[in-house]
Amino acid sequence: MKTRAPHPHTDGSPHVARRPLPRRFNELVVAVVAIIMVIYLGWSVFEQNQAVEDKALAEARALNRNILAVWDYIDEAQDKINHNADGSYDFKGVYCATAAKSVAKRFTALSEGYAIRYARTNPRAAEDAPDAFEQRALASLASPTQSEYYEMAEVNRVPVLRFASRLTIEGSCLKCHGGPRGQIDQTGFFKEGMREGDLAGIASISIPVGDYRNEAWLRTLTTLGLFMLLLIIMLFVVQRGLRRWVTAPLADANEKLAQANRELEEASALREDFVATISHELRTPLSSIIAFTDLWADGKTTQATQRQLVEQVGQNSKALLRMVSNMIDTARVDAGKYTLNWEEIDLVDEVVELRAMAEPLAASKGVSFSASIDPAVPIVISDWGAIHTILSNLLANAISFTDAGGSVRLSLSADPGGARLVASVTDTGCGIAAEDRERIFERFERAGTERRARTVGSGLGLGLARSLARMLGGDITVESELGTGSTFMLTVPLRGKGSDENPDS
């Protein structure tokens, strides 16, 4: 058998096997999820920084309010602090700036990473000199409309929020910081000549944000871990779903399509074989009929010869008719258009017709023919055309494979239970090998080289006979021995499906 070569690639590139659909879908999902995760991570980092800043800023503002509260309290308590019990004034050196600074120093010393201090542009003490951040804060808060200034920064490699709030000169501050400029105040420092509302300095607070960032990253990693777990579960579910509802049905559909293609190829090959076989087999009887009629038309034959020619033409015509009938019936059976006509049949009449068909055919080959029917066989309800086609094909087949001097016998009886008709056709022909006894019922099959060489025919008769037998509710079996002969046995219900009394229905 010739095999069709695969189509070469038009671009000369080697064939690359496509990856399975679930794998390609998983790769697509992973790629999409990776993009989403990158976007989410970027957005999450931005949100984390913003959230960390907001938390630290809220904490810084709370500390600032506490420090200012201490400042205001000390300022309001100055009269009580600096007057003795007898009402005499005695400056104790405890005022708002020193009290607030002392509280800030204690808080800074006791808090890990936190720092609170005060700074101003012209500090009275070196410790109040502003650093770079505080200089920027002082410049920004010089405007009375600004009350705070902050930045995210790193101090000694520790991330912190630097926060500064504006300290404004109030009326109570003027006795130390007001005029006249250059006069020494009660604390021993020169007055600056400031006025109410001027910028006195800033409260500078540092809030560590490392814990906030770690907490935010932990939430992000937890979210990513949960996301990855959901992704794995989703991929598993999707892959199972794809295999069950997509790839498995597709594979099944592909297999069915491949099977359909194979069946189409087989049907095409069968059709080609059918056309070739039928063309050859029809040519043989047609050629014989033409040859015999040509001899007859020549007018030089004797009367006895003419009679022989007529017999030969008749036999070949009947063989041709049988082949054409088998082809038509086979096509009708395959198309599901063979309709059974249930009726009462007297098998004695059927045997008479079969004898009339078989005896001349057997006599032309020198084969003896006999037929018998058991008187106990009743009137049957079946399809006469199907019964006649089955038995005529079995008889024609038996005569074809029996040599001169042999015999063919047809016998009809009812089985012991009285429910089924048993019709057997026995011949003394060449026989059939055991391995071929089922294959002979396939189309265009003639078992064994000897059987193929000994006869002509369409190869449809036995297959059609078995198909019709099964349509009638029965079957055909064969018993045979090489060199001895064969027996084909038809069994069908005495009362077919068209009868209410059918015991098999």
Q: Could you tell me the pTM of the whole model?
A: 0.47
d(CA 420, CA 11): 69
Which runs of consecutive H residues, i.e. helices, occur in 196-302?
210-242, 248-298
Neighbours of 485 (CB within 10 A): 21
pLDDT at position 503? 44
Specify the length of the chain in residues: 505
Q: In the chain, how many H helices and how many E strands?
A: 12, 11
d(CA 24, CA 229): 20
Q: Which residues have CB under 8 Å from 328's CB, separation 6+?
A: none
d(CA 97, CA 124): 11
Picking from 271, 279, 273, 275, the residue whose alpha carbon sits closest to that of residue 456 is 279
pLDDT at position 4? 45
Residue pair 187/176 in contact (Cβ under 8 Å)? The answer is yes
In the block, tokens 């038996």 appear at: 398
Residue ranges and CATH numbers for the domains of the chain are: 21-120+129-175+202-278 (no CATH), 310-493 (3.30.565.10)
Please enumerate, as own/partner, the contacts of 25-34 that have beta carbons within 8 Å and a separation of 24 or more. Answer: 25/238, 25/239, 25/242, 26/235, 26/238, 26/239, 29/231, 29/234, 29/235, 29/238, 30/231, 30/235, 33/231
Q: pLDDT 10s digit of each residue in the chain, 505 long?
A: 444 444 444 455 555 556 666 677 778 877 887 888 788 778 877 888 888 889 999 999 999 998 888 888 888 888 888 888 888 888 877 888 888 888 889 998 998 889 999 999 989 888 999 999 999 999 999 999 999 999 999 988 899 999 999 999 888 888 888 889 889 988 888 888 899 999 999 999 999 998 888 888 888 888 888 888 887 888 788 778 877 887 788 888 889 999 999 988 887 877 777 676 666 566 666 776 777 677 677 766 677 777 776 776 776 777 777 777 777 877 788 788 889 999 999 999 999 999 988 998 899 899 999 999 999 999 999 999 999 999 999 999 999 899 999 999 999 999 988 899 999 999 999 999 989 888 888 876 655 445 444 454 557 789 889 999 999 999 999 999 998 999 999 999 999 765 554 544 4
Look at the alpha carbons of 435, 441, 446, 450 in this order and tell me if their dihedral is positive or negative: positive
Picking from 331, 329, 326, 317, the residue whose alpha carbon sits closest to that of residue 284 is 317
State phi, psi for 485 to the nearest 5 degrees. Answer: 140, -175
In the block, tokens 């055991």 appear at: 434
Q: Which residues have CB under 8 Å from 338's CB, separation 6+?
A: 329, 332, 468, 471
pLDDT at position 114? 92
- Chain centroid to Cα 499, Å, comes to 51
Neighbours of 175 (CB within 10 A): 12
